[in-house]
Amino acid sequence: MEISQLGEFGLIDRLTQEFPIRNSSTLKGVGDDAAVMEYKDTRVLVTTDLLLENVHFDLTYVPLMHLGYKSAVVNFSDIYAMGGTPRQITVGLGVSSRFTVEHLEQLYAGIRRACEIYNVDLVGGDTSASHSGLVISITCIGDAPADDIVMRDGAKDTDLICVSGDLGAAYMGLQALEREKVASAGQSDFQPDFAGKEYLIERQLKPEARKDIIGFLRKEGIHPTAMMDVSDGLSSELMHICKQSNTGCRVYEDRIPIDYQTAIMAEELNMNLVTAALNGGEDYELLFTVPLTDHERIKKIPGIKLIGHITKPELGCALVTRDGAEIALKAQGWNSLAGDREDETAPADGTEGTAEDAPGASEAE
């Protein structure tokens, strides 16, 4: 069905009809000039993400349902990274005429699934025509008791640096998808082969936010001194924490958690594995620091790896390699403005895509 058959308001009604209200803080959702919420005893957290076609996602291999799911989850991840609980989202959507109502229903099915799993309410949005591909803008509102909120600026000298899960897999998943896209060019009956790369593909297409880790930390009574989610790559995020906390850090190459599928893929592509793990991005794991005294308690939490420690600021931020050498970390990150994912799709007029931004060029390699 063409979108014009429903019109803006008909479309919004159709897409938002199966979103029940789950949170008591949501008083009025979709359907007025603004949503209405109430947060008497908690602080309010707000984060926003803009996802643009062919910059953040490529619809030749990203299913719309996964895209909807991921678009919501990456915002939830930011709320968890503050120590909070996501409660509401608004969805701004720009759609070009090649999209049908059924396409948008798939996208919303993914958003709905994410809202179900993470217990979040859809409370508003804005839907518009676009002349240039799909635009998704999601804002997430969350809350947290004042004492639970963790910023980036509280890390102290000698604090332990912890990270959940493993790193670099989503980046390797992207490489696998891009490689199959190139291989399939022009072949309508092409069957991509992702055998042995299922984890990488899932990490790229359908990441999860680490709600579970926040639960474990609360249960163990651990209050991180600084925390953020790893969306731009570990190296970049560590430097944010150290800059805002006015500290340095040491992370140990042999402590960085990497899945075996990530390692195999790096070998296939002849890429430096640690560089991919440090700078790949889109991991949506939690990076946080805790006082030394929490050492024993941190060990009780499944899936948390202790990767280094905070230092005095004059020591700078460095990776300690397996042979004991120190290499300065570089705040490179997954910088979409510098276009490090854009090598193949950069516009002809481009300021985008420089060799310096390729993961292989990291100083930490």
Considering only 292, 325, 328, 337, the residue that binds a copy of itself (CB under 8 A) is 337
Other CB atoms within 10 Å distance of the CB of residue 221: 8
> Alpha carbon of 216 to those of 207, 240, 300: distances in Å?
19, 24, 9
The residues near 9 (Cβ < 8 Å, ≥ 6 apart) are none
Would you give the distance in Å from CA 133 to the centre of its chain? 22
Instruction: Tell the smallest beta-carbon distance from residue 152 to a copy of itself (Å).
Output: 5
Q: Report the site for a copy of itself in 40-59 (rule: CB under 8 A).
A: 40-41, 43-50, 52-56
State the residue for tokens 């990497």: 258
Select 46 or 292, whichever has its Cβ closest to a copy of itself: 46
The nearer residue to a copy of itself, 130 or 321, going by C-beta atoms, is 130
- Least distance from C-beta 232 to a copy of itself, angstroms? 8
Minimum distance of a copy of itself from residue 164's CB (angstroms): 15
Question: Is the CB of 36 or the CB of 328 nearer to a copy of itself?
Answer: 36
The Cα-based distances of 295 to 72, 159, 219, 220, 249 in angstroms read 33, 10, 15, 12, 17
Residue with tokens 């997954």: 334
Residue 256: both structure tokens together? 């960085």
Q: Which of 73, 93, 298, 319 contacts a copy of itself by CB under 8 A? A: 93
When binding is defined by CB under 8 A, the residue of 88, 164, 261, 275 that contacts a copy of itself is 88
Cα separation, 215 vs 199, in Å, equals 24
How would DSSP label each residue in 283-309?
--EEEEEE-GGGHHHHHTSTTEEEEEE
Residue 33 near a copy of itself by CB under 8 A: yes
The least distance separating a copy of itself from the CB of residue 69, rounded to whole angstroms, comes to 19
Determine which residue in the list 336, 358, 361, 365 makes contact with a copy of itself, applying CB under 8 A: 336
Length of the chain: 365
274 binds a copy of itself, rule: CB under 8 A? no
Q: Rule CB under 8 A: say whether 363 interacts with a copy of itself.
A: no
Using CB under 8 A as the binding rule, the residues of this chain from 175 to 204 that contact a copy of itself are: none
Smallest gap from Cβ 203 to a copy of itself, in A, equals 20
In contact, 289 and 230? CB cutoff 8 Å: no
Contacts to a copy of itself from residues 56-85, by CB under 8 A? 56, 78-79, 81-82, 84
What is the C-alpha to C-alpha distance for residues 218 and 214, in angstroms, rounded to an integer?
6
Site residues (CB under 8 A) for a copy of itself, limited to 293-322: none
Convert residues 125-154 into a mask of x (bound to a copy of itself by CB under 8 A) and - (unbound). xxxxxxxxx-x-x-xxxx---x--x-xxx-
Tokens representing 31?
A: 């359907």
Q: At its nearest, how many Å lie between a copy of itself and the CB of residue 299?
A: 25
Q: Which is nearer to a copy of itself, 84 or 248 (CB)?
A: 84
Number of chain positions touching a copy of itself (CB under 8 A): 87
Bridge partners (DSSP) of residue 92 are 126, 137
Site for a copy of itself in 97-126 (CB under 8 A): 97-98, 123-126
What is the rounded distance in angstroms from the CA atom of residue 173 to the CA atom of residue 179? Answer: 10
Which residues in 225-264 contact a copy of itself (CB under 8 A)?
228-229, 244
From residue 262, give the alpha-carbon distance in Å to each of 102, 250, 265, 318: 35, 23, 5, 23
